[in-house]
A and B are shown apart, each in its own frame.
Chain A
Amino acid sequence: AQRVTQPEKLLSVFKGAPVELKCNYSYSGSPELFWYVQYSRQRLQLLLRHISRESIKGFTADLNKGETSFHLKKPFAQEEDSAMYYCALMRYGGSQGNLIFGKGTKLSVKP
């Protein structure tokens, strides 16, 4: 079964510390993975997609097919990074593909 697992509900770090938000997936085909972020009182927005291999707001994520992981990393956390982060997997089938979201990790960056 297709599944996205984010093992940490809450991750708390100090400003300037490295951050790694974990995401593991289960998918039989070639995965398409995304990270979405939701800042307090704002709408959900796309942060990263693995196919573009870009860095947004200092965050990067590398797809590791061997470990079936797509961890989100940032070398130096900032207070404004505090938010809810969701890993999502694109599932194709039926009339059209759709996203499967993990349960989310709340990142808290302390001053």
Chain B
Amino acid sequence: DAGITQSPRHKVTETGTPVTLRCHQTENHRYMYWYRQDPGHGLRLIHYSYGVKDTDKGEVSDGYSVSRSKTEDFLLTLESATSSQTSVYFCAISEGIIPGEQYFGPGTRLTVT
């Protein structure tokens, strides 16, 4: 499982509430990613990180922010959750030798009511 964990695994929250999802890795990989998975849309990249404090936006970054203060942790924050952010969120890591070769976490199912 490439030493990737996500927390929480399930969360139900109300519209307008801030939410933070955590991705933790034990592999010391440089690259980390956050995706959301929605029926009919596949996986879409939200944000990614290419090092501590180095992050960049993906294709669906609006409404999300990220932080990476240490190699092993990559946090995804929804500042004010909306129902459209109900989704399954996956974290992934890559050592970067082959950037397209990514290892995924187990996912977090987020429901915004």
Contact = CB atoms under 8 A, between A and B. Distances in A.
B89 interface: no
Contacts of B41: 103
A66 B26 CA distance: 41
A44 B104 contact: yes
Bin the interface of chain B by size.
Answer: 20 to 34
Contacts of B43: 44, 86, 99, 101
Which of A32, A51, A100 has the largest number of chain B CB atoms within 10 A?
A: A100
Main SS of the interface on chain B?
strand
Contacts of A90: 99-100
Interface in A1-26: 6, 9
A45 B50 CA distance: 21
B7 to A, nearest CB: 15
A102 B98 CA distance: 19
Interface string B43-54: 111001010001
A96 interface: yes
Interface in A66-104: 86, 88, 90, 94-104
B50 A86 contact: no
B102 A99 contact: yes
Given A44-B90, A88-B100, 9 more contacts: A9-B40, A34-B101, A43-B1, A43-B90, A43-B105, A43-B106, A44-B104, A51-B98, A95-B54
Interface of A: 6, 9, 32, 34, 43-46, 49, 51, 86, 88, 90, 94-104
